[in-house]
A and B are shown apart, each in its own frame.
Chain A
Amino acid sequence: MGIRKIDVKLCIGCNVCVDVCPMDVIRIDPVGNKAYIKYRRDCQSCFLCEVECPEDAIEVVSVHERRMVTAW
């Protein structure tokens, strides 16, 4: 889960999501000038991209993206 999708119809290629992602999950496709999810497994579901996207184009779900080792 984590970051689910970036709606290419809504994305304006402004780069905000790329800048705010602490984990370097999102990049811009230079051909279409749209954001895309490049390293989904590193998403930590922090929601910065979803909250800061000016076009409301991103959807995140707070479920661990990869296998998590927990205290128990």
Chain B
Amino acid sequence: MAPRVETNTIDGIDVLVAGGGIAATFAAIKAKEAGAKRVVQVDKGTVGKTGNSCFAAGVIHVCFPEDDLDDRVLRLTRAQGYLAQQDLIRDSLQESYSILEEMRRYGVRMVMNPDGTYRRMAGRGAYPIVMFYSTQLMDALRKYAQSIGVEQVNRVCLTELLTRNGEVSGAVGFHQHTGDFYVLRARATVLATGGTYYKGIHPGHRDCSGDGFGMAYRVGATLSGGEQNDQPANSMPARIDVGPGMNKWMGEGAFFINAKGERFMERYSPKLKERSGLPQITAFFCIETRMGRAPIYMDARHLGPEQMERLYQMLPLPQREFESVGVVKDGKFQKQVEFCPTGPTTRPGIVVDRSYSSRTPRLFAAGECCPPSAVVTGLAAAATSGARAGASAARCARDSDDAVDDNGLMLELRERTFAPLARPEGLEPEHVLLELQEAVIPYDVLLLRDGGRMEHSLKRVETIRDQDLPKLGAYDLHYLRLCHEIRNLTLTAELTLKAAIQRTETRNILREDYPFTDNVNWLKWIMVREEGQGQKWWTEDIPIERYPVAPKREVELAYLWRVPRDLGVVRIQDGRIQWVSEK
């Protein structure tokens, strides 16, 4: 189908926000509140109904005034394997309570006690969480943004950023229903397009395809953190489309058992068990599987009416999903549910400073578009980072001239945007996606790592990049969006694998050939940017001496390996892991 290309130009934007989740919506709201006249929020779905936020599992990790802020910074920093930008983590925690109050002011309903205080309950982690009512949160934020004059443009899939003299001056994309080419010229641009799970088992996340990483990378922005995350993967029901909700199910008392019927998390993490952090859950899932003890099941059959009622309130979508396949019936879990990790969630995010300004002029980032070191996964950090990014972008817009761009570049971007439509006989994006998923999702690639295996996967990804992407074909505008998503996912996979290969240690994510955590040589961030036709990779030292929390500068067996070693599951030989066979 030849595209019927009308060009729809929106000029005079002060702040352009890409994305429809909580980070993007907060960025738009705060940009407006900070005085930006024209704020345009663009999403490839409908604002508030895309990405991860509208499916968030009913809980927010907020640092309350009565909480010990220093202790929370310490815990988050440790959870990040000391790779955190501690000043940003502190900012985010400090601002999380006022953001929570603001959400209520915007019309978001939280679960409250009869005396009007927040009802805080156990979730994963040491501090109790706050609960909200599922999709009502993003509905309220979307409506509030509209009410203060944020212009929301839906179903426009952004494909590239506009630049002039190295400054970002907006973005281009296409409308998935009309086929119109969109040109959005802006004084400041915020990317809040989320991370990715490679379209794996995670309902409510398959539209997150690393679009922001791709757009930023292609204009020379600096990215970092592709190899690392405090949440290396989530865990979801493996064979049915349900989730997310693990935090809440575990918080209510569900537990995991392996194929032998053992509640294995008791062995690995006697204190927190299933409420351990995601690096622990992911790692110990992988070790159980490597030892031949998969499948792993969640058992929630013992949950009583009170617990089930809370689940229905907080997780109406997942509970309805369970009902549709008979796992939940008559208000009770009837069966065990097989679980496994989702696709890896490491993200080569856009490097930002405390104002969430990137190293590329006029470009800002928020939420999971930033590296894990800057923004931890979860609604609170997404919201606080969005708020800061929006306010910073408004300041930038106020102090900048109108954006201009290069007309020649515009024509090239238009051609690039619609190119797959000219190849309807080309490769279907779906088939290329399956190949990419086969390269990165299996647990022994990015969750249980080994240099040789990652090199093997990288070759597969590079083959997809060089041989498949140029042949991607789109039957229509729906498939055109998929083509762009696959292109960005392939780049994300490439950058993730290359960074993961470079990090020759185990830190939060198991690596069999380097089981030690190296706090002498690896308190570093791995950075990358596009330079000419190539890539420039380098490391930057974490300014650990300036930060309040620092590990001992020594090399030691990683905690994630120490536990299985002490349990006799593995031993260390010649500097690498040897698996001990069960008798």
Contacts and interface: CB of A to CB of B under 8 A. Distances in A.
A47 B325 contact: no
A46 B203 contact: yes
Contacts of A68: 200-201
A20 B204 contact: no
Interface string B148-162: 000000110000000
Looking at B46, B207, B324, the one whose CB has the most chain A CB atoms below 10 A away is B324
A4 B576 CA distance: 50
A8 interface: no
Interface in B320-346: 320-322, 324-325, 340-343
Interface string A1-44: 11000000000000000011111100100000000001101101
B441 A71 contact: yes
Interface residues of A, number: 33
Interface string A35-72: 00011011011111011000000001111111111111
B266 to A, nearest CB: 22
Contact of A22 (B204, B241, B430): B204
A69 B238 CA distance: 10
Contacts of B289: 71-72
B166 interface: no
B434 A70 contact: no
A17 B447 CA distance: 36
B176 interface: yes
B242 interface: yes
Contacts of B434: 67, 69
Contacts of A23: 45, 206-207
Contacts of A67: 434
Interface in B467-485: 478, 481-482
B127 to A, nearest CB: 29
A63 B207 contact: no
Contacts of A42: 206, 478, 482
A21 B321 CA distance: 16
Interface in B246-294: 286, 289, 294
Interface of A: 1-2, 19-24, 27, 38-39, 41-42, 44-48, 50-51, 60-72
For the complex of A and B, 8 pairs with smallest distance between CB atoms: A45-B241, A69-B437, A71-B443, A62-B321, A62-B241, A22-B45, A71-B341, A44-B206
Given A51-B316, A71-B441, A72-B443, 5 more contacts: A42-B478, A63-B240, A66-B430, A71-B340, A71-B341
